[in-house]
Amino acid sequence: MIGRRVVDALRARGDEVTVLSRSAPGTARWAEPTSEPPPPEAIAGRDGVMHLLGETVAQRWTGKAKRTIRESRELGTRNLVDGMSRLSEAERPAALVSMSAIGWYGARGDERVDESEPAGDDFLAGVVEAWEAEARKAETLGVRVAIARTGVVLASGGGALAKMLPPFKMGVGGPVAGGRQYVPWVHLDDVVGALLFLLDGGEGTYNVTAPEPVTNRELSKALGRALRRPALLPVPALAIRALYGEMAWIVTTGVRAVPTRLTDQGYPFNRPNLDDALRATVG
């Protein structure tokens, strides 16, 4: 969902792009990211590397799924940095932009949180903390590292909206688990824009979210407006837990994350308004 748009944006501005994938045709093959470094010829001489690899979190968290979610991020990033370390200084990419997630913070209620806040103590926060630690090891190689803690991405054909749209289109959508939990949303255009912004000069950790997060209730109302459908039928937390098990925690809690560092460094948001972002996505 994100990778294809990033590649298109890079090529549109004239960059030469090498795509690393486990199996996609027409790409450089990195067969086992959790057990081996990438092929050196794929990254040698590149100006920068953008690392978007990670098993989807939106699934029932069985023991096996939890291991895969963590290992795909922690070991995949470790092996990427190991591959960079094997290159000569002249061949080594100068920058690494590594995807991360707002899950770093855990559930924080209605407190506004920025990049200075410590990690939470739940499963997902632990995954993100380990993931980011592996990416930061590239700094010891003299590589500039930027970490993108991405929020809930609004995009057509995937992400959170893919699960939300069917009931809303039928007029039976509504707020989840009371709707008071905050959703740190961001439009796909700004995920792509922020990643390129960080590739060109970012360093450190960044929340990649819209300037103003909204509550689940506000998001539901805005989606109803975009679809011209009612959005009044509440979805109880019990139903979400029955469907997703432990993973439902992500949906029934929230974090009011704000992109302080992107804003301070002058990133020009493409779609900072929720109604506009949703119309552009589903309209």
Contact 6, 52 (CB under 8 A): yes
As for how many domains the chain has, the answer is 1
* Segments of the chain scoring below 70 in pLDDT: none
Taking CA atoms, 105 is separated from 154, 264, 267, in Å, by: 20, 20, 22
- Say what the pLDDT of residue 161 is: 85
Contact 107, 256 (CB under 8 A): no
Predicted TM-score (pTM) of the model is 0.95
Tell me how far apart the 2 most distant CA atoms of the chain are, in Å.
59
* Residue keyed to tokens 């989807």: 56
- Say what the pLDDT of residue 159 is: 82
Contact 199, 146 (CB under 8 A): yes
* E-only strand ranges, the chain: 20-21, 28-29, 48-51, 95-101, 112-113, 144-150, 152-155, 158, 182-183, 185-187, 204-208, 214-215, 256-257
Say how far apart CA 97 and CA 80 lie, in whole Å. 12
Say how far apart CA 100 and CA 74 lie, in whole Å. 11
Beta strand pairing status for 214-215 and 182-183? antiparallel
- Say what the pLDDT of residue 239 is: 85
149, with CB counted inside 10 A (0-12, 13-18, 19+), is: buried
Q: What is the CATH number of the domain that holds 77?
A: 3.40.50.720
Residue 6 lies in domain: 2-282
